[in-house]
Every structure is written in C-alpha cells, then in structure tokens.
A and B are shown apart, each in its own frame.
Chain A
C-alpha cells in the first residue's frame, strides 16, 4: 500500500512535467510573444526593429524554446509563476487573491452535496417505488438536467430581485470585510452549486445502493438476525460507498479550478471567473497557470480516489 502510494506520487512527477511542457508549448504557439503583449500596437509601429530585438535579448526571448522552458520551469519550482500580461501583476498574487473565494464556495458545495446526496440517495433506495422515492427521483433528474446558469439566474430573479432577501452577486462590498458581512453573498451561489452537485451524488448513491441491496449477502445479513439499520448501513451502504467516493473524488478539482459558470453568474471573484476574463483579454500566462493548476488538481484527485478506494474496499489491491 505504502509503496504503491509512493510509486504513484513518483509517477505524478513525469506526468506533471509532460503537462507543463505541453502547456508551455501551447503558449509558444499563440500569436505574438511577451514583447508584443507588453507594447501597444501603436507604439510597436514607432519602435525600430533593433530596439525590439534588444528588448527581446534583455528578456531572454532570443534563446531556443527548450532553454526558455527550462528557465520557466526553474522559476515555477521556486514559486515564481510569472506575470499576467494584462496589468503585469504577479500570477501568484492573483491566485492568492482568488483561491480563497473559490475554496469558500466549492468547499461548502462539496461538503453539502456529499452529505445530502448520500443521505437522500440512501433514503430513495430504501423506499424504492414510494412517493418519497419518486419525488426525489424527479427532483434529482431536474437537478441533473437543468443547466447551472439557468438555475442560477432563476435563483437571482427570485431571491435577489423579487424577494430582495439576498444580494445579486459579488463577494465583498467595499468597506465591509468581516465574515458576517459577506455571508449573505455566499449563500445563493453556494446553494445553487450545492443543489446541482447534490442531484448527481443522489442519483449515483441511489443506484449504487440499490445494486448493493440486491446482493445475496444482504439476505445473508438478514438471515443472521441483524437489525435493519445494520443490514442497510453496514452491509448495504458500506459497499455502495465505493462508486460514490469515486464520483466525489473527481469533483475535488472544483476546489481549485472553481465552477466557471456559477462564479460568472454570481460575479463571484474566484478562480473560475478569473479564468474567463483571462481568456477574454488573451492573458495567456494566466490562462496557462490556471490550466496547469487544474490539471494538477485532477491528477492529485485521481490519486486520492485510488487510495481511498483501496482503503474502503479490501478487494482492491494496489501492490500489484
């Protein structure tokens, strides 16, 4: 087990290198270079070619691609993520600003959807065919099929514009920075994101639970005279948990990458909305960095899922 984890982490290193290389290559293939981003087109026209070349040499841009990649990678490893071209701000400063907002929103949604999704899914499976199950199934299908932005807009329309209970969007108003001041702001986006995610977990937990309950060992457990809660939870849910863990695990990257759509709809200043504006303003270094972070988050999440699966299911052996 331990050797497997260590090996998986070691495998992560070459994968991360390859991905960083591809991302850097992608940046290289975009039109223009750092100089053309730094200088406005009007000025560019009035500057002589020699001065531009001198500028390129001073920035190290005359060196071959591989060498530049190597220098960039060294910078990365030392925590120097580069600078945003739209404003020259250090990328790590932007991320330090945006990540807490994304974490705040996603963590709430992830915890909420895991707990409620599992509970509702199990109830739905245990009361299969009942009114409760049917209502939950229909609601779940709606939750899975309605697009997030639509759900978000409807929520804004009702709770912010008609009822005026909650603010339309944003995270902090200027001058208000205590936690209680921004609590009203987080409620609606967190709930909308949670409900969307809960629906998926619920559907998944329900079918996985039904599958487990139809197994012969459930009958064995009953034949031993165990009480129903023990049969359902210890024998049914315990086995049904594995696929649910996988689903939740693959949602972990949301913690880093944020939900692009929800953040946009609610003007939430997280990584997701920053990503959109970076793409719009062709801020390639920033796009690249966020993409790289998201990929790393996915890789880490899949490692976590593997380890968790092995921990809860003894049939999964990782040593092979």
Chain B
C-alpha cells in the first residue's frame, strides 16, 4: 500500500483483543486498510466478523475489557500525523479528535440519541466542545444542519425530543450531529439496518451528497452487498477478524478472488429472477472465536479447501489495489471470470 496525499486515515496490522473469563477473543486480528479523502470504503462481512470492533477501535470507543494489542492507526490530520492507537482512551487529545475530526453514526438511531434531551441540545453539545460558536449561535447552526439533512420545519423540530422523531428522521439528526463540526472522516456503523428500505435509500443518498460536497471520507460498515455496489469506491471483505479480500468495487464485486467473497455474492437473491432462483447459502457457520482453526479461518466452509489451508494464507497483492488472502486465489479468480 502506498502512502499518498489522499489518505485520511491508515490502519496497519491492527489487532484488537477482548478478554473475558481469562479467555481471549481475537476480534480483530491483523487488519490493514486506508480511508481515502472523499471516498467511501465499505467494510462487509457477516455478524461477528469484527467490522464494528474495527470502527470502535478507530474511535477508541472499545469496552473496558478489550485493548489494541498491536498495530497502528494513523490519522493524517492537517497538522501532521496522529497515532490514534497511542492516545489515551478518553484523554483530551482523543476527545478533541472525536466528533470534530472523526465522527461516527450508529446502527440504531432509536437508542443512539439520548431520550431526555432535545435534538438541538444534542447537536449543540458537539458545537460547544469543538467550535468557537457562542451559545446563541448553537441553535442557528443546529437548525441549519437539520435543514441540510432534509428535515422539514427545522425551526420547530430542533426543540423536539428524539421520541417525537421517526426512525429515518432520527438517523438524519444523528448525521446532522456527526457532521456538525465538518469532520474529515465519517464512520457509519450499519446506519440503515434499523430502517426500512425506502428510508435506507434516502439516508445513503444523503451520505453520498455529503461525501461529494464536503469531501468527507466515509467508512461504511454494512452487510448489504447492494449498498456496496451502489455507494462504495473501495471494499474490504472481513471474515473472523481478517480482511480476506480488498480492492476497488469493480475488482471485488466483478472479479472476486476469495472463495468467501464469491460465496457472499452467490447468496444474494437477484430481483427479477423469480421465486425459484437458486440462492447458495454458505454451508456451516462461523467457528467459535475461542476455538479457531489453525490455518485459514474459512477453510471448514470452503469449497476450494486443500491441505495447504491448514496454514494461514499470506496476503497476496494481485493488482495495484486488489489484495486477497487465499492459497488458491488464482483458480477462484479464473472461475469467477467464466
């Protein structure tokens, strides 16, 4: 991976482990990627593969019994590089990055907003700590933000409590809150999972506009391949704490070279193919994180398994941006091209 001007944040060989009852869950086990300015990086994978933990690690929002074991998270700010992994968790430096440089929106807008404060208050909290605005300007700015996010009658809605907002409006309010200090990076952790499909499209459209207008780098966590095809510039596919395949959208979706990526794509129903289309589910289930296979984590469920898979495959760079972790990627790639 080459370091260039456009990279907003780079993650190198990141390992985040959780400790429970003297056992260790290697939730994120050596992950590397770059988030580029004005681009969307989609992280896909099934539940429990480490997507959300990766996001929380970048924000240093991990629970107490977990820590960054190894690796680097470097935020390339305008005033030089900042090693996020070396900052104190809730220290002053970390707090000054959160919300103002890197902002995050969460999966369920129903629970992510505090029920006892007005939307306006919750937006102005960010402004209070990261901008020089005065108390009277908070409200004007909050109304402005809500209007930008497509909330009608923002002048009156700003004083409403979250419970009088609909799900979609709450997520818009969350995005307004996240965008309030014009962050360089927006991390969205499955922002539409809790919303219905029509609202999903609106939220993604909104995020796409923000990316284009403000040049915000977006890291979007999702398990919806449709969303990936629609929004992503780059994709990273995660499985059991590793990125098994990464590259541009075209590379990963049109020419998948990892059996897991292929299996994921084969498991999506296609609209218009009718009721009786074959959907190939991935056999088996993810291994117990406390009792992992030695080699390739996907080996047990993989159609391409060979003896060599008992050893963890190394990451292979198969294009300038395309990389994969599989011993048989050439064959898999050739099959995909058929």
Contact = CB atoms under 8 A, between A and B. Distances in A.
Contacts of B113: 217, 220
A223 B104 contact: yes
B329 interface: no
Contacts of B106: 216, 219-220, 223
B337 to A, nearest CB: 42
B111 A225 contact: no
A314 B115 contact: yes
Contact of B90 (A217, A222, A313): A222
B126 interface: yes
A239 B116 contact: yes
Contacts of B118: 314
B98 A222 contact: yes
B61 A235 contact: no
B138 to A, nearest CB: 13
B73 interface: no
Contacts of A221: 114, 125
B151 interface: no
Contacts of A222: 59, 61, 90, 98
A215 interface: yes
Nearest to A230: B125
A313 B116 contact: yes
A223 B59 contact: yes
Nearest to B128: A226
Contacts of B97: 225
Contact of B108 (A216, A228, A313): A216
Interface string A298-320: 00000000000000111100000
B316 interface: no
Interface in A211-254: 215-217, 219-228, 230, 235, 238-239
B247 interface: no
A239 B113 CA distance: 12
A223 B116 contact: no
A223 B98 contact: yes
B161 A225 contact: no
A235 B100 CA distance: 19
B99 A223 contact: yes
Nearest to A241: B116
A217 B112 contact: yes
Contacts of A216: 106, 108, 111-112
Contacts of B177: 220, 224
Contacts of A226: 95, 99, 125, 129
B181 to A, nearest CB: 9
Given A219-B61, A220-B106, A225 B98 contact: yes
Nearest to A214: B63
Size class of the contact patch on chain B: 20 to 34
Contacts of B129: 224-227
B163 A314 contact: yes
Given A224-B129, A226-B129, A315-B161, A239 B98 contact: no
Interface string B114-138: 1111100000011001100000000
B126 A315 contact: no
A215 B111 contact: yes
Given A216-B111, A314-B115, A224 B163 contact: no
A159 B82 CA distance: 61
Contacts of B115: 217, 239, 313-315
Contacts of A220: 106, 112-114, 174, 177
A313 B161 CA distance: 10
Contacts of B112: 216-217, 219-220
A223 B95 contact: no
Nearest to A317: B163
Given A314-B161, A315-B161, A223 B103 contact: yes
B209 to A, nearest CB: 22
Contact of A228 (B90, B98, B161): B90
Interface in B69-121: 90, 94-100, 103-104, 106, 108, 111-118
Contacts of A239: 114-116
Given A224-B99, A225-B95, A239-B115, 20 more contacts: A216-B111, A217-B112, A217-B114, A217-B115, A219-B106, A220-B106, A221-B125, A222-B59, A222-B61, A223-B98, A223-B104, A223-B106, A224-B125, A225-B98, A225-B129, A226-B99, A226-B129, A238-B117, A315-B115, A315-B161
Interface of B: 59, 61, 90, 94-100, 103-104, 106, 108, 111-118, 125-126, 129-130, 161, 163, 174, 177
8 contacts: A216-B106, A217-B112, A220-B177, A225-B98, A228-B90, A230-B125, A312-B116, A313-B115
10 closest A-B pairs by CB: A225-B99, A225-B98, A216-B111, A224-B99, A217-B114, A225-B95, A314-B161, A223-B104, A224-B126, A216-B112
